[in-house]
Amino acid sequence: MRLTVVGGGYVGLVSGACFSHIGHEVLVVEKVKEKVKMLREGKSPIYEPGLEDLIKEGISKGTLHFTDDLKEGVKFSDVIFICVGTPPRADGSADLSHVEEVVRTVARNMDSYKVIVEKSTVPVGTHRLIERVVRLYLRDDIPFEVASNPEFLREGFAVKDFLEPFRIVVGVNSEKAKRIFEEIYRPITQKGYPLLITDPATAEIIKYASNAFLATKISFINMVADLCEKVGGDVEAVAKGMGYDPRIGDKFLKAGVGYGGSCLPKDVKAFIKTAKDFGLDFGLLEEVEKINASRVQKLVEKLERILLVLSGKEITVWGLTFKPGTDDVREAPSLRVIPELLKRGAKVKAYDPKGIDNFRSIFKEGHDLRFFTDKYEALKGSHALVILTEWDEFKEADLERVRELLEAPVIVDGRNIFDPEEIRNLGFEYECMGRCHDRENYLSLQRKC
Which residues are tagged catalytic? 263
249: left (phi over 0), alpha (psi -120 to 50) or beta: left
Other CB atoms within 10 Å distance of the CB of residue 56: 16
* Rounded Cα gap, residues 5 and 74, in angstroms: 10
* Rounded Cα gap, residues 287 and 295, in angstroms: 13
Helix (H) or strand (E) holding 26: strand 25-29
CB 401 within 8 A of CB 189: no
Supply the DSSP symbol for 379: G
183: left (phi over 0), alpha (psi -120 to 50) or beta: alpha
Burial classification of residue 280, based on how many CB atoms lie within 10 Å of its CB (0-12 exposed, 13-18 middle, 19 or more buried): exposed
Burial classification of residue 190, based on how many CB atoms lie within 10 Å of its CB (0-12 exposed, 13-18 middle, 19 or more buried): exposed
Cα 216 to Cα 70, 213, 355, distances in angstroms: 38, 5, 26
* Rounded Cα gap, residues 432 and 63, in angstroms: 49
* Rounded Cα gap, residues 87 and 105, in angstroms: 20
CB 26 within 8 A of CB 58: yes
Task: State whether residue 89 is helix, strand or coil.
Answer: coil
